Amino acid sequence: MAASMVSSQPEEISAASYVGFDSITRQIEHKLLKRGFQFNVMVVGQTGLGKSTLINTLFASHLIDSKGRVDIDTQPKQTTEIHALSHVIVENGVRLKLNIIDTPGYGDSVNNEGCWDPIVKYIKDQHSAYLRKELTAMRDRFIPDTRIHCCLFFINPTGHTLKPIDIVVLKKLAEVVNVVPVIAKSDSLTLEERAIFKQRVMAELQFNQIRLYPFDADELDEEELTLNERIREMLPFAIVGSERSVIIDGKPVRGRKNRWGVINVEDEKHCEFIYLRNFLTRTHLQDLIETTAQIHYESFRSKQLLALKESSAKNQQASAATASA
């Protein structure tokens, strides 16, 4: 009866019959804006691929000091351990707490066996810390979320294919985090070389059954599924990062200048940076957060609780056997 009454109402509801529950979206928005949002992004790749520069370019702020060489006589700096940097960015009244997790360049040593273990362990440790806080009797109302929402995986622009160590690291990461691959410093390749390289990389990833983000789900509508398909066709994103401004047609733009001309970071004819930025911040930011909670964390949580249950059952059996003896 109520359903038929609702469907028969005109579009303009009179003041007498207006209840007001449609304002719930504004109420939710007000609370979320007061609380702010959290986004945790990890960068993984070999040393010297411009990981810090890309993060600064993505969020249009100097968030991480670049480890590149300032002059030819200076040795490049290296990240020797995993560390997180936190920044609060405000845009049009929206407050975003951004955690950037910088990782050591893997594959830099003579023996690289297990070089990915500290990275995978760090990701799992964040899940474990969240689970512990979730299971406490007097848990916080809002549990601080340090789970990694996105892992940007930097590919060396060799123009050939992925190295065996890249495949191993990608397989390990894809099991525990949303992985988004990018071709670093893609301006070192011609457009033809770049297209061929992207095809080779994706063929290698598909052959090794490495599942990359974004994922499709039953609740997605046709428009969202189409967008995901377009993004998958574009992977890996061929990007160029730069914090410097160069003048093009009298206007300052972020880019790089060399002897052959100027690379405009935000020109889609030069690189795919704007597609990556739109993907991470304008269309899939919330989905990255939700996917982390609903897929990767839930998988970790269920495995941990099942292991805890089995351990408890074994202890009970051992205690019963001891008591009967």
What digits encode the pLDDT tens for the residues 96-125? 999 999 998 776 665 677 888 999 999 999
Q: How confident is the model at residue 129 (pLDDT cuts 50, 70, 90)?
A: very high
Looking at residue 66, what is its pLDDT? 65
Burial of residue 74 (CB within 10 Å: 0-12, 13-18, 19+) is exposed
pLDDT at 264 over 50: yes
**Cα separations in angstroms, 96 against 56, 88, 101, 193, 223:** 15, 6, 16, 37, 27
Looking at residue 11, what is its pLDDT? 53
Q: How confident is the model at residue 223 (pLDDT cuts 50, 70, 90)?
A: very high
Looking at residue 10, what is its pLDDT? 47
Q: What is the mean pLDDT of residues 127-156?
A: 92
Mean pLDDT of the chain, nearest integer: 86
Looking at residue 5, what is its pLDDT? 46
Q: What percent of the chain lies above the pLDDT cut of 70?
A: 89
pLDDT at 212 over 80: yes
Identify the CA nearest to 167 among candidates 121, 125, 203: 203
Q: Which CATH superfamily is domain 33-60+79-308 in?
A: P-loop containing nucleotide triphosphate hydrolases (3.40.50.300)
Q: What percent of the chain lies above the pLDDT cut of 90?
A: 47
Poorest-pLDDT segment among 45-59, 89-103, 221-235, 256-270: 256-270
pLDDT at 175 over 60: yes
pLDDT at 148 over 80: yes
Q: How confident is the model at residue 7 (pLDDT cuts 50, 70, 90)?
A: very low
Poorest-pLDDT segment among 267-276, 296-305, 312-321: 312-321
Looking at residue 172, what is its pLDDT? 95
Q: What is the mean pLDDT of residues 86-99?
A: 90
Looking at residue 70, what is its pLDDT? 47
Q: How confident is the model at residue 252 (pLDDT cuts 50, 70, 90)?
A: confident
Looking at residue 166, what is its pLDDT? 93
CA distance 50 to 67: 8
Question: Residue 286: what residue type?
Answer: Q
pTM of the model as a whole? 0.85
Looking at residue 6, what is its pLDDT? 44
Looking at residue 110, what is its pLDDT? 54
Looking at residue 325, what is its pLDDT? 64
Poorest-pLDDT segment among 76-80, 128-132, 168-172: 76-80
